[in-house]
């Protein structure tokens, strides 16, 4: 299978890449940080020599770059799976967060998925096959303190997922919205937290991979995951 994963150099994105690499699929990966991206590719290729990995540094918050990445991916064939994982977290409150925060959060967390998916969909619709995973958040479901524009953008990504699912049902393309709670990733760097209190990125990756293996007649529409002891 051809699997596209954005924001794949670390955290949840890298963990998802590892699941599909272990199964020997062909991966198309991107992230903003070129060094982290190619380090991740080297690590995955060494660990899973039977998979094929192609990578391209991309700022998915830039619409032109997101579209160019989609065209690049199509040059190798029609994608079977898209994981729209690229995202950014900036904490704050609507009433006093830095000017431009909303625009930045929308560009990175929503427009990235919107523009890439739109480039890829005509070819996927033509073959009536594919599965799109949008990495939303529990911040897509409920407002919380210090969520601000990040939460707004994730609510929007969930709305995008629901509308896309309805549009693509007749074309045999599945859409799954993934809403993880607190997961060990770069967003938690520097935070002193009990590792038993937070999910591992591999937890999210495993359930995404399992969902991708269902028959064409079944789809997991929404995945909500939280630490076993509840939200942080």
Q: Which of 48, 111, 150, 209 is catalytic?
A: 150
State how far the alpha carbon of 113 is from the alpha carbons of 47, 49, 76, 125, 164, in Å: 29, 29, 20, 17, 11
* Residue among 174, 106, 178, 105 at smallest CA distance from 140: 178
| SS3 call for 25 | coil
Extract the tokens encoding 231. Answer: 């939200």
**Residue range 94-144, pLDDT digits in tens:** 999 999 999 999 999 999 999 999 999 999 999 999 999 999 999 999 999
* Residue among 76, 88, 78, 108 at smallest CA distance from 10: 88
Pairing label, strands 81-84, 130-135 = parallel
pLDDT of residue 194: 84
Extract the tokens encoding 118. Answer: 């739109």
38 is catalytic: no
pTM over 0.85: yes
| SS3 call for 10 | coil
Extract the tokens encoding 80. Answer: 């079977």
Extract the tokens encoding 152. Answer: 């707004």
Whole-angstrom distance, CA of residue 215 vs CA of residue 227: 29
* Residue 218 CB coordination number (10 Å): 8
Extract the tokens encoding 42. Answer: 């080297």
* Residue among 81, 65, 87, 67 at smallest CA distance from 28: 81
Whole-angstrom distance, CA of residue 8 vs CA of residue 13: 4
The proportion of the chain whose per-residue pLDDT surpasses 90, expressed as a percent, equals: 93
Whole-angstrom distance, CA of residue 124 vs CA of residue 79: 7
User: Mean pLDDT in the chain?
Assistant: 96
In contact, 232 and 198? CB cutoff 8 Å: yes
Residue pointed to by tokens 């007749």: 170
At the second CATH level, the architecture of 2-225 is: 3-Layer(aba) Sandwich (3.40)
pLDDT band at 190 (very low <50, low <70, confident <90, very high): low
């Amino acid at each position: 299978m051809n699997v596209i994963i954005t924001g794949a150099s670390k955290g949840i994105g890298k963990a998802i890449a590892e699941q599909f690499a272990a199964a020997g699929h062909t991966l198309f990966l991107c992230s903003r940080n070129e060094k982290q991206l190619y380090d991740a590719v080297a690590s995955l290729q060494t660990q899973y020599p039977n998979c094929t990995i192609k990578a391209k540094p991309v700022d998915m918050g830039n619409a032109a770059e997101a579209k160019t990445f989609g065209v690049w991916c199509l040059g190798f064939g029609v994608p079977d799976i898209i994981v729209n994982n690229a995202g950014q977290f900036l904490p704050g409150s609507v009433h006093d967060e830095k000017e431009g925060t909303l625009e930045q959060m929308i560009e990175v967390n929503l427009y990235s998925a919107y523009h890439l998916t739109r480039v890829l969909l005509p070819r996927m619709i033509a073959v009536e096959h594919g599965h799109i995973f949008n990495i939303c958040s529990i911040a897509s479901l409920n407002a919380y303190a210090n969520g601000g524009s990040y939460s707004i953008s994730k609510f929007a990504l969930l709305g995008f997922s629901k509308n896309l699912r309805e549009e693509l049902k007749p074309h045999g393309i599945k859409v799954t919205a993934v809403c993880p709670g607190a997961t060990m990733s770069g967003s938690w760097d520097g935070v002193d937290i009990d590792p038993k209190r937070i999910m591992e990125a591999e937890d999210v990756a495993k359930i995404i991979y399992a969902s991708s293996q269902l028959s064409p007649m079944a789809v997991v529409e929404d995945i909500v995951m939280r630490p076993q002891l509840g939200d942080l």
